[in-house]
């Protein structure tokens, strides 16, 4: 079976949102291919088997040429280590002043001839020649594109609408207006391109976290190399002011690092030997020597870039609606324009020229560019703005879903609490002493990565000889059972003691209790306590202020612990002593209680909660910085350990939604107003062009506010 692969193509020079949607649609019609176009970054991502992607570059190039002949298709997999993120970013910024010079010169030259034509009103023929020349200079490209598109069966686009409208104006004797409208249209298109590019730059600057080089230590010499050329186990040196290029462990040096690019946190983090250093951090002061633990492709910075870049592949319902709406809207308006041009003259005996002129105005207004461009940019800006605050949203659909949150369900350990456990009490029974109790518990927990196990091993404080352990069995939701030194050791909760028919001491405590038995004889209990995060209470309060109906906690801890945390934080409901499968069942019940439009969030650590994260409408992983499991499992990743960032994410989602609907209301409102005015002969061509390109520019500038 052929291997499934992904390919990225950069469409350099693509500024037409409508064409972008058409290209995406036609590429998706290729057998076995799934494609999505990120208009903000100009990247077309194609997925399929290696066989199906054979020759895909040529197929896509032909499709792009069909809609946008001037756009250059670039394969993002470049030799000589010019990898796709860097390459894509460079091309996002490629439309600088040089790119706008040619259209600006054409507009300027056409404007000069237009003014000459206005002055030369003595000779009708000379006036026609001057205006026609001016028209061809500024609108010749639009005219050619319209003709080419018509021959390909692509009729209803802005080139066709402008061509029909302006040629029609020539035929009814409105030479100056025909030229002026084309000049105004091209000027508007130029401003629109500039606005789109500025919006792209603002968004992509948020992702400007890719390190350009690494200082690789080879013997006693430092070599400046690409991060992609560094291997796991290599030693790199990061100087003050430099970005940490790859994930690794500090082996020498002390420094404070700026983590704001990844987490949104303004407070520097201190690194010392043994600390984990993540790619994207900026070294503030000391010299750091780091042993690389992940290749660049698997590093934190690469994963974040990939997530933000590909977030637009999951489109919000509003985006899908607008794309569908635009498909039907233009043909309907064109049909209405034909009706306006023909019905009144034929039925009422009115003058054809007057009603044709009105129909032409109607056509100019009808282009849905403002919506098609500004709405994806608005959502992408919202996702970019969230990433700047340390919140990774994996798609526009999840960002939009955050507007309708009714219920937030929290895991306890590592989410609302710090997940840093300490042994606060150890009570030995039946002839065992405290040291024996801790040692046997440490042997039982020696293979577990659970925070409770870690705290027992920390309390024991000695190296465990794992060769002593003959058998090991982890019992989910209960504890562990091992055979060591010829003894059977059981360590876990009350359920495990009951299951093994061991009589134990019933202890009420606000900490987690681990009971220990040796060869079916009760050895005592250990009390382990966790601490609530300082940020948790604020998070619950903010969610209530935002109108979230219920804040609920699900935990495997005993009832006393769960209720204590719930009361302290002001949670609405607490469900304790749950096994992993119980959490899913409880979530199903909670999900059935929300309204049809309401959304349920589950917030967990992304490592042990994958089934529940997947079942929720929106799964949020807390403290996902550097955790591969968290990034994979969740729909939203909070890069810090702050639960209050959930409220921040909801606020960003709501602000983005407001901006998107402002654009929809503004664009449709202005267009409907001018369509009515055009039909009744009140609006002229100038106003019609404003209702098209002017509205698009304003909507794009408004969409840029979502980034902040």
- The pLDDT of 545-550, averaged and rounded, is 93
Mean pLDDT in the chain? Answer: 81
* Of residues 67 and 265, more confidently modeled: 67
| pLDDT for the residue numbered 77 | 60
pLDDT of residue 576 exceeding 90: no
- The pLDDT of 139-167, averaged and rounded, is 77
666 CB-near residues (< 8 Å, 6+ apart): 370, 695, 698, 699, 702
d(CA 644, CA 603): 12
Q: pLDDT tens, 98-110?
A: 667 888 888 889 9
d(CA 230, CA 217): 10
* Dihedral angle, C-alpha 279, 282, 284, 285, nearest 10 °: 40
Cβ neighbourhood burial of 317 (10 Å; 0-12, 13-18, 19+)? exposed
The residue among 538, 549, 566 whose CA lies nearest residue 407 is 549
Angle subtended at Cα 386 by Cα 82 and Cα 539, rounded to the nearest 5 degrees: 145
Q: Say whether 396-418+532-634 and 4-92 share the same fold.
A: no
The pLDDT > 90 percentage for the chain reads 17
| pLDDT for the residue numbered 693 | 75
3-state secondary structure of 183: helix
* Of residues 375 and 311, more confidently modeled: 375
8 A C-beta contact, residue 135 and residue 182: yes
Of 193-207, 315-329, 432-446, where does mean pLDDT reach its minimum? 193-207
What is the β-pairing status of strands 422-428 and 573-575? unpaired
What is the β-pairing status of strands 512-518 and 521-529? antiparallel
pLDDT of residue 425 exceeding 90: no
The pLDDT-based confidence of 628 (bands split at 50, 70, 90) is: low
pLDDT of residue 94 exceeding 70: no
| pLDDT for the residue numbered 84 | 40
The residue among 516, 309, 275, 517 whose CA lies nearest residue 395 is 309
| pLDDT for the residue numbered 89 | 41
Domain 4-92: which CATH class?
alpha beta
The residue among 73, 69, 74, 63 whose CA lies nearest residue 22 is 63
pLDDT of residue 291 exceeding 90: yes
- The pLDDT of 451-456, averaged and rounded, is 84
pLDDT of residue 157 exceeding 70: no
| pLDDT for the residue numbered 312 | 59
Angle subtended at Cα 32 by Cα 28 and Cα 34, rounded to the nearest 5 degrees: 40
Q: Phi and psi of 7, rounded to 5°?
A: -130, 140
pLDDT of residue 408 exceeding 90: yes
Q: What is the pTM of this model?
A: 0.72
Q: pLDDT tens, 228-282?
A: 899 999 999 999 989 999 999 999 999 988 887 777 666 788 899 998 888 888 8
pLDDT of residue 129 exceeding 60: yes
Q: pLDDT tens, 675-685?
A: 888 778 787 77
The stretches of 206-316 forming alpha helices (DSSP H) are 260-263, 300-309
Q: pLDDT tens, 510-538?
A: 678 889 999 889 989 998 887 888 889 99
Give the other-Cβ count within 10 Å of 608's Cβ: 20
* Of residues 372 and 455, more confidently modeled: 455
Identity of the highest mean pLDDT range in 312-316, 452-456, 598-602: 598-602
d(CA 283, CA 254): 10
| pLDDT for the residue numbered 81 | 41
* Of residues 668 and 627, more confidently modeled: 668
pLDDT of residue 451 exceeding 60: yes
Residue ranges with strand state E in 99-232: 214-218, 221-225
| pLDDT for the residue numbered 99 | 67
The CATH architecture to which 231-293 belongs is: Distorted Sandwich (2.70)
Q: In CATH, what number does 396-418+532-634 get? A: 3.40.50.1000
| pLDDT for the residue numbered 88 | 40
- The pLDDT of 493-520, averaged and rounded, is 85
* Of residues 149 and 441, more confidently modeled: 441
* Of residues 209 and 469, more confidently modeled: 469
Give the other-Cβ count within 10 Å of 442's Cβ: 20
- The pLDDT of 157-167, averaged and rounded, is 76
Q: 571-601 burial, b if ≥16 CB within 10 A, otherwise e? A: beebbbbbeeeebbebbeebbeebeeeebbb
499 CB-near residues (< 8 Å, 6+ apart): 475, 478
For residue 155, what are the CA distances in angstroms to 135, 189, 664, 696?
21, 19, 24, 21
Name the maximum alpha-carbon separation found in the chain.
119
pLDDT of residue 96 exceeding 60: no
8 A C-beta contact, residue 373 and residue 192: yes
| pLDDT for the residue numbered 1 | 47
The pLDDT-based confidence of 76 (bands split at 50, 70, 90) is: low
- Kindly list the domain boundaries of the chain, sorted by start residue: 4-92, 97-204+313-378+655-707, 231-293, 396-418+532-634, 422-529
Give the other-Cβ count within 10 Å of 158's Cβ: 24
- The pLDDT of 376-393, averaged and rounded, is 82
First to last CA, the chain: 47
Q: pLDDT tens, 316-336?
A: 777 777 777 777 777 787 788
The CATH architecture to which 422-529 belongs is: 3-Layer(aba) Sandwich (3.40)
Q: pLDDT tens, 305-315?
A: 777 666 656 67
Catalytic positions, please? 411
Q: pLDDT tens, 357-371?
A: 788 777 777 777 777
Q: pLDDT tens, 112-125?
A: 998 888 887 666 77
- Residues making up the chain, counted from first to last: 708
- The pLDDT of 689-693, averaged and rounded, is 76
């Amino acid at each position: 079976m052929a291997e499934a692969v992904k390919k990225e193509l950069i469409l350099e020079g693509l500024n037409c949102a409508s064409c972008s949607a058409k290209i995406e649609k036609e590429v998706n019609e290729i057998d076995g291919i799934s494609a999505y176009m990120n208009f903000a970054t100009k990247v077309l991502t194609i997925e399929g088997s290696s066989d199906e992607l054979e020759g895909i570059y040529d197929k896509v190039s032909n499709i792009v040429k069909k809609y946008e002949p001037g756009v250059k298709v670039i394969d993002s997999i470049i030799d000589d280590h010019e990898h796709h993120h860097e390459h894509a970013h460079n091309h996002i910024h490629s439309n600088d002043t040089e790119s706008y010079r040619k259209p600006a010169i054409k507009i300027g030259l056409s404007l000069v001839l237009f003014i000459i034509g206005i002055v030369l009103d003595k000779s009708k023929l000379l006036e026609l020649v001057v205006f026609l020349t001016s028209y061809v200079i500024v609108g010749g490209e639009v005219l050619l594109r319209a003709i080419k598109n018509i021959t390909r069966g692509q009729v209803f686009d802005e080139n066709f609408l402008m061509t029909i409208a302006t040629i029609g104006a020539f035929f009814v004797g409105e030479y100056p207006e025909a030229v002026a409208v084309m000049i105004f249209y091209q000027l508007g298109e130029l401003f629109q391109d500039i606005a789109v590019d500025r919006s792209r730059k603002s968004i992509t600057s948020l992702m400007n976290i890719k390190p350009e080089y690494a200082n690789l230590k080879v013997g006693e010499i430092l070599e400046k190399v690409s991060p992609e050329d560094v291997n796991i186990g290599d030693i790199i040196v990061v100087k003050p002011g430099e970005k940490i290029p790859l994930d690794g462990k500090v082996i020498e040096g002390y420094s404070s690092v700026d983590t704001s690019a990844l987490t949104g946190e303004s407070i520097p983090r201190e690194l010392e030997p043994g600390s984990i250093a993540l790619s994207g951090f900026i070294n503030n002061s000391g010299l750091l020597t780091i042993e690389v633990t992940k290749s660049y492709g698997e590093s934190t910075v690469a994963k974040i870039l990939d997530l933000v870049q590909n977030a637009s592949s999951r489109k919000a319902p509003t985006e899908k609606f607008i794309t569908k709406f635009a498909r039907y809207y233009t043909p309907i308006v064109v049909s209405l324009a034909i009706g306006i041009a023909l019905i009144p003259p034929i039925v009422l005996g009115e003058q054809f020229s007057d009603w044709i002129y009105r129909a032409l105005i109607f056509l100019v207004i009808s282009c849905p560019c403002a919506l098609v461009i500004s709405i994806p940019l608005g959502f992408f800006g919202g996702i970019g703005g969230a990433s700047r605050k340390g919140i990774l949203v994996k798609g526009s659909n999840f960002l939009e879903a955050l507007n309708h949150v009714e219920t937030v369900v929290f895991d306890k350990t590592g989410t609302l609490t710090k997940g840093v456990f300490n042994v606060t009490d150890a009570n030995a029974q039946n002839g065992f002493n405290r040291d024996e109790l801790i040692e046997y518990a440490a042997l039982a927990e020696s293979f577990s990565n659970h925070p409770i196990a870690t705290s027992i091993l920390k309390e024991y404080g000695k190296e465990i000889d794992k060769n002593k352990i003959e058998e090991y069995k982890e019992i989910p939701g209960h504890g562990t059972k091992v055979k060591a030194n010829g003894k059977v050791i059981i360590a876990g909760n009350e359920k495990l003691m009951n299951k093994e028919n061991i009589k134990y001491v019933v202890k009420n405590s606000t900490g987690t209790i681990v009971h220990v038995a040796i060869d079916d004889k009760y050895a005592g209990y250990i009390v382990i306590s966790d601490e609530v995060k300082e940020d948790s209470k604020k998070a619950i309060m903010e969610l209530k202020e935002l109108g979230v109906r219920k804040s609920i906690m699900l935990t495997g801890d005993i009832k006393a612990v769960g209720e204590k945390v719930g009361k302290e934080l002001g949670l609405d409901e607490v469900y304790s002593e749950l096994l992993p499968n119980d959490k899913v069942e409880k979530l199903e019940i909670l999900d059935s209680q929300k309204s049809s439009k309401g959304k349920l969030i589950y917030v967990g650590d992304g490592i042990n909660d994958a089934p529940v994260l997947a079942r929720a409408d929106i799964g949020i992983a807390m403290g996902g910085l550097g955790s591969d499991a968290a990034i994979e499992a969740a729909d939203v990743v909070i890069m810090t350990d702050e639960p209050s960032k959930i409220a921040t994410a909801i606020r960003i989602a709501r602000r983005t939604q407001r901006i998107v609907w402002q654009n929809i209301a503004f664009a449709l409102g202005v267009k409907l107003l001018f369509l009515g005015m055009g039909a009744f002969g009140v609006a002229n061509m100038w106003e019609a062009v404003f209702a098209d390109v002017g509205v698009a520019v304003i909507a794009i500038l408004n969409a840029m506010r979502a980034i902040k």
